[in-house]
Amino acid sequence: MMTFYVSPYRRIARMRDAMDRMLEENFPQAEVTEREMVLAVDVKSDDEAYSIKALVPGVEADDINVEVLNNTVSIRGEFEAADKEDNKFLTCELPVGRFSRVITLPTALDPSKSEASLKNGVFSLRVPKAESHRPKAIKISAN
């Protein structure tokens, strides 16, 4: 007598393949000519403000756009392409093209006191928390 093993995963795999075929037939993927990169960031928080850092090698300060609204920070810019006339690359791995990042923070921000800098390819942004969202020390009176 032969023993057959029935795997529930085989039916699931066939169903997934059928769904993939159906989606490809009915919703062909659009051609993407240029992709916008998501900028990797580090975000720190203290009692007063949020600090955001990102690596943007080769980008000039004038090529970065920062907007702060309510509790959202938006950073956009573009990595310039290397000289196309110079075809002597052995490898070409530096980022090229537009980048953006929208960061939603837990508290409201005060954009009027924000400070941004760019030094050695590191973009830094300090955005103070709105007064209403900062911790306040309360003195206790002893009577």
- What is the per-residue pLDDT for 33? 47
| Inside any domain, residue 22 | no
| Inside any domain, residue 25 | no
Number of domains observed in the structure of the chain: 1
According to DSSP, the β-strands at 42-45 and 49-55 are antiparallel
| Inside any domain, residue 124 | yes
| Inside any domain, residue 16 | no
| Inside any domain, residue 51 | yes
| Inside any domain, residue 106 | yes
Helix, strand, coil % in the chain, rounded to nearest 5: 20, 35, 45
Distances from the Cα of 91 to the Cαs of 56, 87, 97, in angstroms? 19, 10, 17
Give the CATH number for residue 107. Answer: 2.60.40.790
Provide the domain limits for residue 46. 37-82+95-133
* pLDDT at position 1 over 90: no
Rounded Cα distance, 9 and 140, in Å: 64
pLDDT in tens, 29-77: 554 445 678 899 999 999 899 999 999 998 999 999 999 999 999 999 9
| Inside any domain, residue 12 | no
| Inside any domain, residue 74 | yes
